[in-house]
Structure 1
Amino acid sequence: MEENSEKIEESIAMEEDITEENETKPDSSEENKEMKDEQELAEIQNEKEKNWFKNKQVIELGKIDYKNTSNQHYFQGNLFSPDGTCILTAVNAKGILVFELPHDLYNKNEISTERDINILKPVINIKTVGNVYDFCWYPHLNSMDPETCFFLASCQNEPLKCYDAFNGSYKCAYRAYDYADELEAALSCCFSGDGSLIFTGLRKGIAIFNTSVPGRDYDMINLKKPVSCIAANYYYNEIAAGSWNKTITLIDSRDYLVTDELNGHKQGVTFLKYSTNGEYLISGSRKDSNLLMWDMRNRSLPLYKFSRRVDTNQRVQFDISYNSNWLVSGDTNGIVHVWGLNDLDENAFPKENQYQLHEDACTGVSLHNYLPILATSSGQFKFDNNIDDDDGQISTEPEKIENSLVLWWISETT
């Protein structure tokens, strides 16, 4: 009897342990349901994205213009925030500006062609002394979480500075120094995929800062060439560093060793961007009509060569949509080129649409992550356009000048 009672007590204790384990274990069915819901949402978003640019027309949503005074107020690119609520840009001789997306555009599937055009006004204007070299958002910015709302900006003769995205207040700085222990401004900057590190391109390498540790504590990758643009690939643990010497250096982000070098541009590389899934790298250069797309699984030659006109030394931006359905680029004729990466012609090359959206050089383009909205910005440095004609007379033909930031609707309309 005693033995039986002991066995019964043991079995009860085992049942209680199993019950406790089941209670503490997460319900796998709930996890599977959440994963399924996320996949379905991603598929729906992907299908919506495929319909962008299908109407072959765009609707203007909002705009701001600056006159080209003696200070030359041209735009220097623009970037949508990761959560899509704001646009970060820089204007020559005006500083760093942040604009909010008009509130009536949230959660819209279509827009009326009779909608009034918003006059955009900056909610943040940070004055800068020198030229703005580069700027970027924190990759996990969420307006509902103030601690994630900040961005970086690099200016001439200044350290890399971090600013609050709500009010533009200065938060901290990341300082790199050269061999003579003199402050060196970052030519380019970007965050790692998880936001824990900051990669900054210098004149002879890359300085790597811990985001949570501002100051002058950093690791250094010596490259002996200027890093004019930089991008980080989270999925392939890789850093891409473009240089004015026409090359792109690929570096392992785990041990900081150079793994490869891409060659294909005729001039200095000025802008780089990875696709969201990390499989493709797009690169552009100054005074070079070729926009190159590289497959990270086979890097011997560019996968595609896209044609756009770039007659300036300025950085001319491009962007790839979140699900890699569209590649968008500006050019110095004010044309926006759009290639459907999953819509190929008989030669297996992405089909192209062109939109004449600006009268001056379109140097900035940025696609919203989930809404069918494109932000474009225009303007470039203007030299004296007085030219001697054949009779020795000075020609003063007016040059087309446009310094603007414009929002466009790129999907269905009513």
Structure 2
Amino acid sequence: MSEGKLAVEPRCVATSGMLYRCSVSEAQRREAAKLGDGQWSSGSSPNEDSNVFKNAQWSPDGTCVLTCSEDNKVRTFVMPADLLEKYELHELVPFSVTAKAEPVYCSDIYPGFVLQDPSTTCFLASTRDHPIHLQDALTPRIRGSYPLVSPTTERYIAPHSILWSSSGTKFICGSDALISVFDISRVGAGPVERLPTIPSKRKKLVGGGVGMKGIVSALGLSDRSGSGILAAGTFTRMVGLYGSEGSGDCVAVFSVAQTDEGNSRTRTGAGITALEWSPCGRYLYVAERASTEILVYDVRVAGRQLGSLTGRAAPSNQRLGIHVVPVDGGHEVWAGCDDGTVQIWPHAAENPEAPRRPDWAWKAHDGPVAATVIHPSGTIVATCSGQRYAPPDADEKLEGSGDCTNVLSTSLSSPPVERGVDNSLKIWKL
């Protein structure tokens, strides 16, 4: 099929509607009124930033969606039991809201999450100037803290990427030139392993020296068997491969900035934001900020780019996630775009050496699609969107997850919803 719209476009079955299509302060007021609980009341200082959805993730049992927003809150949306039984549009209201004092840099839901078992309903969250927290997903309760502290300044280090191990007994964090592995049973303790991504001076002297500088902004595991390869990507456009889920040796380090055409041309991009493995563990898909390509690498020949998925409408610096979906006989790649569309590359593993344009697309939002995640059943898709904005004369940079986002040029004289800002979560039936 040539590039175009889906023959039968997905049907939206649930949405957060207008609840968050406004500023942070206004969203807080609307949510408090909707939930009827004073714990979500607005603070004394108004916050006119757009309440952007930055990320979304399905729980492994497919019952909940976990989201992170600009207002430093992580929300758990429990899906209605009759989500697909009625043709009416369901209203999405959070079951639980976890408020953090600082921006949430990253989060990851427990791989053994089962809604009916409260002992498993938890997630990890990294916030600035605080330890990593193991949070309850159904209440605002903190189950455990795991400090990552700089040995020189004694300040908390906030990871920019976080990932559970296959067993769920450990988790992996990526920060500035450092990968850290924590044991979940050691509550209150630091990492059991620290893997600097820049080799020490002594290691250089004995023949080492291959490494990568910069913040580790993305992590991905090749499989969930316990012995998979950990891929780590940085904002400096480097990828490192590590054995035994990050506890083993460094397998390879390579840059995604140079093409394979004799390294004569520099590829555009502003830092890695997503790493996804194919189900077979052979291909690694790399997405960057300010890039219209998703790069495809064969890890059997580390650093060799096989091809690329082109035509993605994602030229901005905002984090826009990708998702690799297993299908019969292969897999396909789904990605959100700046223009509000979701693009799909089916059979992505077929002839990976040739550049591929998306075969399907549909209009999901009126703003950048920050996340496109497929339900474990493969028949439902969750998408979330949002775009930061600022007054034209703003002198200071926006603060957030370490990302520089594109900025709307309109003034703040009117509410963001009147300017077409779409901060929403939607559920689609395929």
Work out whether the TM-score is over 0.5: yes
1:95–1:125 Cα contact (<8 Å) kept: yes
How much has 1:365 moved relative to structure 2? 1.1
Take 2:356 and 2:156, find their aligned partners in 1: how far apart are those partners? Answer: 46
Structure having the larger proportion of residues in strand? 1
In structure 2, do the counterparts of structure 1 residues 278 and 214 end up closer, same or farther at CA, with 3 Å as the change threshold? farther
Question: Are residues 1:202 and 2:193 paired?
Answer: no
CA contact (8 A) 1:288 1:310 kept: yes
Give the one of 219, 222, 226 matched to 2:196: 222
- Is the partner of 1:152 in helix, strand or coil? strand
Q: Is the 8 A contact 1:229 1:241 kept in 2?
A: yes
1:346-385 equivalences in 2 (<5 Å): 349=356, 352-385=359-392
> Could you list the runs of 5+ residues in structure 2 that have no partner in the other structure?
24-47, 199-212, 258-268, 395-408
SS of 1:325's equivalent in the other structure is: strand
Q: Give the alignment's TM-score, normalised by structure 2.
A: 0.74
Instruction: Report the CA distance shift for 1:361/1:350 in structure 2 as closer, same or farther (over 3 A).
Output: closer
**Counterpart of 1:34?**
none
Give yes or no for contact 2:308–2:355 (8 Å, CA) kept in 1.
Answer: no
Matched, 1:246 2:229: no
Within the candidate set 404, 407, 410, 2:427 is matched to: 407
> Closer, same or farther in 2 for the Cα pair 1:395/1:335, shift >3 Å?
closer
Q: Secondary structure at the match of 1:380?
A: coil
In structure 1, runs of 5+ residues without a counterpart are 1-52, 388-393
Alpha-carbon shift at residue 407 of structure 1 (Å): 0.5
The TM-score normalised by the length of structure 1 is: 0.77
Task: Map 1:227-376 onto structure 2 (within 5 A).
Answer: 227-234=216-223, 235=225, 237-253=228-244, 255-265=247-257, 266-299=269-302, 300-323=304-327, 325-341=331-347, 349=356, 352-376=359-383
- Which one has a larger percent helix, Structure 1 or Structure 2? 1
Aligned to 1:63: 15
The superposition leaves residues 214-273 of structure 1 with CA deviations (integer Å, 9 ceiling, x where unpaired) of: 223321000133211112233562111110111111111265321112432432101122
Shift of 1:334: 0.8
2:11, 2:428 within 8 Å by CA — same for their partners in 1? Answer: yes
Shift of 1:395: 7.8
Equivalents in 2 of 1:134, 1:173: separation in Å? 15
CA contact (8 A) 1:358 1:378 kept: yes
Deviations 1:160-207 (A, max 9, x none): 111122324210011111132221111110011121221001112111
State the structure with more CA Rg. Answer: 1
Q: Secondary structure at the match of 2:300?
A: coil
Question: In the alignment, what sits opposite 2:184?
Answer: 211
State the distance in 1 between where 2:309 and 2:290 align.
Answer: 15
For residues 357 and 346 of structure 2, the distance between their equivalents in structure 1, rounded to whole angstroms, comes to 5
8 Å CA contact retained: 2:270, 2:317:
no
Tell me: CA distance 1:310–1:383, structure 2 relative to 1, closer, same or farther (3 Å): farther
Secondary structure in 1 matching 2:318: coil
8 A contact 2:97–2:139 mirrored in 1: no
**1:294 to 1:101, Cα distance in 2 relative to 1, 3 A:** farther
CA deviation string 1:266-295 (max 9, x = no partner): 321011222344333222111111112333
Structure 1 residue aligned with 2:134, among 148, 154, 162?
Answer: 162
Find the partner of 1:86 among 55, 59, 64.
64
How far does residue 350 in structure 1 lie from its aligned partner after superposition?
A: 7.0
The reply on whether 1:104 has 2:82 as its aligned counterpart is: yes
* Cα offset, 1:156, TM superposition: 1.6
Root-mean-square deviation over aligned CA pairs = 2.7
Alignment-derived partner of residue 11 in structure 1: none
Partner of 1:176, secondary structure, is: coil
- The 2-side partners of 1:322 and 1:101 are apart by 23
What is the distance in 2 between the residues matched to 1:403 and 1:316?
A: 14
Count of paired positions: 346
Which of 125, 148, 171 is 2:97 aligned to?
Answer: 125
CA–CA separation in structure 2 for the residues paired with 1:405 and 1:395: 24
SS in 2 for 1:184: coil
8 Å CA contact 1:344–1:350 kept in 2: the answer is: no
Residues 275/137 of structure 1: CA separation in 2 closer, same or farther (3 Å cut):
farther
1:343–1:202: structure 2 CA closer, same or farther, 3 Å change rule? closer
